[in-house]
Chain A
Amino acid sequence: MAIETPIRPDMRPQPQPPGPESAAAERHLPVVGSPRVPGLTVVSQEQDLETMEMTINMGPQHPSTHGVFRMVLTLEGERVKKLEPFVGYLHRGAEKLGESGDVEGYRKAMIWLDRTDYLSVWANEHAYVLAVEKLMGVQAPERAEWIRLIMDEFGRINSHSMFYGAFGADAGATTPFMYAFTLREALYQFFESVGGQRMFPNYYRVGGLREDVPVDFVERATRTLETTRRSLDDFDRLISDNEIFLARTRGVAKLTAERAIDLGCSGPVLRATGVPIDVRRVEPYSFYDRVDFDIPVGTTGDCYERYLIRLQEMYQSTRIIEQALKQLPKGPIMGNTPKAVRPPKGDSYQRVENARGDFGVYIVSDGKSPAPYRVKYRSPCFSNLMALNDLAVGAYIADAVMGLGSIDIVLGEVDR
């Protein structure tokens, strides 16, 4: 199968546009560099008041860039005048590695997929196995599909609770982080009992699951659900109505619906602007058409609504899990899929709604090799991150940090 590689534009760093020095030179202003703080330049000088622009490098080792994201901020006092994002510090070639397995390559690709978005692992695995199943024309048994759905939703709660903790830390509160980790621990213990692993389950298989869930799965899930509900109420009571938290988030880092759509945002970032789009409803997969749930949608698209939407989504997830546990049938967990996965020649694409938005897996098979010929992940984080300029430029540094936090990126997935 001939796969053409289109000529792509040069993505390497290009020579930067003229900086403040030449801007100052154009306006015939004296340029005074600070001897000890390089990059500090006088750009405008009046009779007795001079203002300075400061170029500051935030990341890749900054505590609130959520990983190894880097942005170069041009500041005027406390305000962000310009923002240049740099990604790629965590690029591990997850897609290329996914194409390189020589034995059971289709299964190995999923291991690399797990390591990209390490918080929303379950939904991503789901997208992958559904894509391969679509390509092979097989289906997982009902029980397996229900279990997948349940685990997807638990994964969403896990990811959103980490957002809650990190967002609180961005706002300067230390306690939300610990609350989030308490819930996360309960969830990870549950994950461990199901898939044997805490973070990277590698549990879904093409055509089903790796192994059946424990005998007391329903009890465990119900118990975890109870813990989750209690934690969510605690989350809500802790900062949702807090005066300072409201002052820090309401009306901060706004995004309009048109702009969000233009930028290709999805997930809570898009829904906060008032666009009710959720892949689970508009293009249902798995058994999402058999459960009732609502989609929380905002209007103003500010930080606070993004936060509330995620909080509300966690409640909706508990609702979904509750219904799914009631409908969970008995039966096999693996269909009659061959052990060695060799899809026929062709390609397939599968979208799912993971915690960050519209996640997609595109797979091309050449029909011969044991690994996919090409794997491509459509990353919601990367698209959502494009909104950063709209959120941060013109805001205070503190608000820029909140804006970045409210996008809820996972750098592993942005860089892949």
Chain B
Amino acid sequence: MEQVRLPYLLPAPDWMPEFLIAPLVGGFSVADFLGLFVLLNFILGFVTFEIWLERKIGGHIQLRRGPLHVGPHGLLQTPADIIKLLIKEDLTPAAADKRLFKMAPYLIFVPVFLTFLVIPWGGLWPFNLTLRPFDLSLIYIVAIPSIQALGMVVAGWSSGNKYSLLGAARVVAQFISYELPMVVTLLAVGILAESLSIAQAVETQRASTWFVLLQPIGFVIFFITMMSEMHRTPFDIAVAESEIVGGPFIEYSGMRWGMFFLAEFAAVFLNSCLAVALFLGGPELFPFAERIPIPGIGANTTLIRQIDDTIGVFFFFGKAMTLMIVVQWCRFALPRIRIDQLMDLAWKILLPASFANLILTAIFSQFGFFPFAAGLAVVLVVIGIIAISYRNRGTRERETGIRLVTLPRIPLEAHA
């Protein structure tokens, strides 16, 4: 769908590398500013809702009720919390590197917000809602969020606290471990889409089928690495509360602390959106909807496409929210993995798997018996998941030495 562009207000800077200014090419128009304004407010509002949702889900998983009293079903709990955070004292520790300390929350929140620019939200008649559907967006979504890791390191270092320093060290170790498999996985997506543009990946998926069916291993790796990128349980090693008491955030208070959590929750939504756009068909409702014959009409490709173009954004949201709930569910169901275990997982399992995935994708997309290979991969992944979930059944009886000892009863004369 053609985007109507309004006159530019600011020229794009020409001294920056191309992939960085790509979202700015053509400069800023009034529509861009309007779009940014709407996007920012939407994200802030949505994050407020998301926090409520997470607390509610967590509550129900944990045999509680979650927020209940502020507003209907506790809906206003998060706004109330934000107001509380805003009026709290903004403390800066004496040992802190003050300028960096104050900068870190922005270093963490801004990249997340910037990454939202390239999300192809899908159609909402008569618009196609993407702020910046530019060509290198696959590289952009890796490059920009990695600034977030820098922000965590800055926060950890500048706090002048040893726990936050440990947290910062963990952020670095974690970051270099998960980022590589993620990039390699995205390359495989790029091969399938024959482009480094997310919008093109969505278009390819709508024309063929969802990449989750062609790239099941890729999807699993992406899901794991994105959980790691967001520092969510079970990968919340950097902020591990029971070990290093919040890591880089330990010295923050008030709204600066709130910014970190805003960024974290925004990142959950962001990464869910990315997973939907890259693997789950973007605004498409069903993977094979176009081939399902409608009674009386037959398979109608145009009609289905029109439906997706008209209200696709809601399908996109539905899928993103489902994925988001899965992430939240993981948070309440799993313990935390240890840092060396994460690095084992990333370097010894995910990285080879992602390379294998990349090579197989390249070979099969070149020679073309892709559906067969994809089907095989789906079956393998399903078998793998079932095998893992049943692996530990009865472990205790088999592998641990717990046994019940019956000692003889010694009669006690005192009570006889």
Contact = CB atoms under 8 A, between A and B. Distances in A.
A243 B388 contact: yes
A54 interface: yes
Interface in A214-241: 239-241
B243 A401 contact: yes
B297 interface: no
A274 B405 CA distance: 10
Contacts of A290: 409
Interface in B388-405: 388, 391-393, 395-396, 400-405
Contacts of A289: 409-412, 415
B152 interface: no
B397 to A, nearest CB: 11
B353 interface: no
B133 interface: no
A296 B415 contact: no
A409 to B, nearest CB: 15
A246 to B, nearest CB: 6
A174 B402 contact: no
Contacts of A241: 392-393, 395
A168 B93 CA distance: 32
Nearest to A172: B336
Nearest to A177: B62
Interface string A192-212: 000000000000000000000
A239 B95 CA distance: 40
Contacts of B234: 172, 244
Contact of B63 (A179, A245, A248): A179
B414 A139 contact: yes
Interface residues of A, number: 68
Interface string B153-166: 00000001011011
A63 B241 contact: yes
A171 B409 contact: no
Give the interface size bracket for B toward A: 35 or more
A40 to B, nearest CB: 8
Interface SS of chain A: mixed
Nearest to A271: B405
Nearest to A130: B414
A54 B100 CA distance: 23
Contact of B162 (A39, A245, A398): A39
Interface string A280-309: 011111111110101111111000110011
Interface in B67-93: none
A33 B340 CA distance: 28
A62 interface: yes
Nearest to B62: A178
Contacts of A292: 406
A248 B337 contact: yes
A295 B242 contact: no
Nearest to B61: A175
A278 interface: yes
A54 to B, nearest CB: 6
Contact of B64 (A77, A178, A299, A398): A178
B336 A297 contact: no
Contact of A294 (B335, B336, B406): B406
Nearest to A34: B165
Contact of A300 (B170, B400, B404): B400
20 contacts: A36-B97, A37-B95, A37-B160, A39-B162, A54-B165, A63-B242, A171-B336, A172-B335, A174-B58, A174-B233, A175-B332, A178-B63, A241-B392, A246-B392, A248-B337, A276-B407, A284-B409, A287-B412, A289-B411, A294-B405
Given A278-B407, A300-B400, 15 more contacts: A36-B95, A37-B165, A56-B166, A63-B241, A64-B243, A78-B339, A172-B233, A172-B242, A172-B334, A173-B336, A282-B407, A288-B412, A289-B415, A298-B401, A305-B401
